[in-house]
């Protein structure tokens, strides 16, 4: 009988049988090949989330192969990449092109079953309005699991409207930070991309990717902060550390923009903001959350064109039985992207 990893409580997965048959609402059954661990999954593992009901099957960076299908255009054997956000498709936000901001939004791995399981049933709403992309024959199915995080990175870059030949600081050198740097380097032709990262492992990894100009140790950078203030046109906070939000604002030059990409555990604290700085320096503060089906499709196209780069971000693979170990390693920051292989 198929199995799944059930998050029973904070920091505890149990592997149990999970066999619910496909029904009228679940129109495709997917054999999960890969489900990558996201930063938000790590927060759920360590802190919980109000959208979950325990025991929960989380995980939303998914690729797999169709084993049963009741929907036109999808057949047994098709390879699919899934995103997370499932909008209603009918509200003002959905109609106006921002379905990731839908107030009736559901998400795979939250209200809907996630991908840390041998099989996932995909219901009608996902195919009507959500991010589902067929994986091209030439694309490795493991790399296709990174469609969801890359789509989120695309959303962040679009929110800032990054211009060419700009100076960019990315605070946080995990998978999202790397993908943001990749997009700014490859698509926006940034003049300079710098990173601040506390982990020696991640700094060394980034240096081997040819996307950064400078990669700073977080503590060393803070000790010389006056040297770097007002030095960047764009800043991304690609981590879940509150102090980086105030830091990021201080790095902006006149006309600069910041994207608060990494969410914080609730209740999130507030930052001190001098609105005169926004006025006289014409700074812009933005946030980005999730992605849209369009961005997910674009992400799969990008990964297909440069699959070697994205495969290089996968540093570890674990079977379902070892998911607790995988999450402990991810929580310590001793990896870039970890795949669970059910």
Same-domain check for residues 133 and 188: no
Same-domain status, 171 and 208: yes
pTM for this model (two decimals): 0.96
**267 with 182, same domain?**
yes
* 137 and 167 in a common domain: no
Same-domain status, 265 and 161: yes
Does pLDDT of 249 surpass 80? yes
Same domain, 165 and 179: yes
Residue 171's domain is classified under what CATH number? 3.40.50.720
Question: Same domain for 107 and 207?
Answer: no
Q: Are residues 122 and 218 in the same domain?
A: no
Task: Name the band, by pLDDT with cuts 50, 70 and 90, for residue 311.
Answer: very high
Of the candidates 133, 144, 139, the one whose C-alpha atom is nearest the C-alpha of residue 339 is 144
User: Pairing mode, if any, of strands 61-69 and 79-82?
Assistant: antiparallel
Q: What is the distance between the alpha carbons of residues 293 and 131, in angstroms, rounded to a whole number?
A: 4
Residue 304 falls inside a structural domain: no
Whether the per-residue pLDDT at 341 is higher than 90: the answer is yes
Q: Is residue 292 part of a domain?
A: no
- What was the pLDDT predicted at 266? 80
**22, pLDDT greater than 80:** no
Q: Is residue 231 part of a domain?
A: yes
Distance, CA of 291 to CA of 208 (rounded, Å): 28
Q: Does 192 lie in the same domain as 248?
A: yes
CATH of the domain at 132: 3.90.180.10
Assess if residue 295 is contained within a domain: no
Strand bridging mode 106-107 / 85-86: antiparallel
Q: Confidence class of residue 25 from pLDDT cuts 50, 70 and 90?
A: low
Q: Where do runs of H (alpha helix) occur along 130-272? A: 141-144, 147-160, 175-186, 200-207, 218-223, 225-228, 243-250
Q: What is the mean pLDDT of the chain?
A: 94
Length of the chain in residues, anyone? 342
Q: Tell me the mean pLDDT in the region 14-31.
A: 81
Same domain, 59 and 117: yes
pLDDT tens column, 279-290: 999 999 999 999
106 and 230 belong to one structural domain: no
Domain, as residue range, for 135: 3-146+313-341
pLDDT of residue 115: 97
User: 169 and 140 in one domain?
Assistant: no
Number of domains in the chain: 2
- CA-to-CA distance for 146 and 132, rounded, in angstroms? 13
Question: Is residue 120 in some structural domain?
Answer: yes
Per-residue pLDDT reduced to its tens digit, 173-222: 999 999 999 999 999 999 999 999 999 999 999 999 999 999 999 999 99
């Amino acid at each position: 009988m198929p199995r799944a990893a059930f998050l029973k409580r904070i920091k505890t997965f149990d592997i149990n049988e999970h066999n619910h048959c496909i029904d009228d609402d679940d129109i495709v059954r997917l054999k999960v090949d890969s489900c990558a661990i996201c930063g938000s999954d790590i927060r759920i593992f360590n802190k919980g989330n109000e959208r979950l009901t325990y025991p929960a099957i989380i995980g939303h960076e998914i690729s797999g192969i169709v084993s049963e299908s009741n929907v036109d255009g999808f057949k047994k054997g098709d390879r699919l990449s899934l995103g997370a956000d499932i909008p209603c498709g009918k509200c003002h936000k959905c109609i106006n092109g921002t379905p990731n901001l839908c107030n009736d939004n559901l998400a795979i791995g939250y209200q809907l079953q996630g991908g840390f399981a041998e099989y996932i049933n995909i219901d009608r709403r996902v195919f009507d309005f959500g991010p589902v992309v067929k994986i091209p024959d030439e694309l490795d199915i493991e790399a296709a699991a990174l469609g969801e995080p890359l789509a989120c990175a695309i959303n962040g870059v679009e929110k800032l409207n990054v211009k060419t030949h700009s100076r960019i600081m990315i605070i946080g050198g995990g998978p999202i930070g790397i993908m943001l740097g990749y997009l700014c380097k490859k698509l926006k032709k940034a003049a300079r991309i710098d990173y601040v990262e506390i982990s020696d492992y991640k700094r060394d990894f980034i240096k081997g990717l040819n996307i950064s100009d400078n990669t700073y140790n977080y503590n060393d950078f803070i000790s010389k902060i006056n040297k770097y203030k007002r030095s960047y046109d764009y800043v991304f906070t690609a981590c879940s550390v509150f102090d980086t939000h105030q830091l990021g604002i201080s790095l902006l030059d006149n006309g600069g923009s910041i994207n608060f990409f990494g969410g914080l555990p609730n209740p999130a604290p507030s930052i001190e903001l001098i609105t005169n700085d926004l006025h006289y320096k014409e700074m812009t503060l933005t946030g980005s959350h999730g992605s849209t089906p369009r961005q997910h499709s674009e992400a799969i196209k990008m990964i297909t064109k440069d699959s070697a780069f994205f495969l290089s971000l996968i540093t570890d693979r674990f079977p379902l039985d070892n998911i607790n170990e995988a999450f402990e390693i991810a929580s310590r920051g001793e990896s870039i992207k970890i795949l669970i292989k059910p």
